[in-house]
Amino acid sequence: MFYLNFIPDSYLLSVINAVLLASVIGLLIGFLITFIPWLRPYRPLINIISTVLLALSMYFKGSYGADMEWRARAEELKKQIADAEERARQVNVRIETQVVEKVKIIKERVNDNKKSIQVQKQVINADCVIPDVARVLYNNAVDNEISGGTGESDASSTEVRTTKSK
């Protein structure tokens, strides 16, 4: 019943109810005419018109009711989707903010540690030199990447591994 969408709802309902009422009145009149002899010739016509109008008004009333139900359901779904989109947007903002904050804290701690290492450098390095084999083994542990793909190229190490990485 797409054409119902082009007519204002309240107007449409009024017209349907008016036709329904008119058909009921017409049927009553058709019944009462039995007792008025000079109007009896018009009885079949009045009954036919009233019956047709009753059938049409009941049909349109049913269509209107069904259409209104669908519209209400569509509105409810639209609202649910809009609510879900808003909640999803809020989740995005909250998580992004949290990650940015946490990464900032981590970077601050790394910098603080770096400064502490520089300050304590002489104490840390007193009588301690890293042998080459230790450096190579440490780099083996750092370079345990399995998957390739795009990323920063690492040209710093060109040494042959002393042990195979697992």
* Total length of the chain: 166
CB of 69 to another protein, least distance (A): 21
C-alpha pair distances (Å), 1 with each of 54, 70, 104: 19, 11, 59
| Residue placing its CB nearer to another protein in the complex, 25 or 95 | 95
| Rg (the chain; Cα; Å) | 43
Dmax over CA atoms of the chain, in Å, equals 133
Residue 154 burial (10 A CB sphere; 0-12, 13-18, 19+): exposed
Among 14, 34, 157, 162, binds another protein (CB under 8 A): 157
Stretch that binds another protein, among 12-20, 26-34, 64-72, 95-103 (CB under 8 A): 95-103
Instruction: Tell which positions 101-130 bind another protein, by CB under 8 A.
Output: 102-103, 106-107, 109-110, 113-114, 117-118, 120-121, 124-125, 128-130
Whole-angstrom distance, CA of residue 103 vs CA of residue 100? 5
Interface contacts to another protein, rule CB under 8 A: 80-81, 84, 87-88, 91-92, 95, 98-99, 102-103, 106-107, 109-110, 113-114, 117-118, 120-121, 124-125, 128-130, 135, 138-139, 142-143, 145, 149-152, 154, 156-157
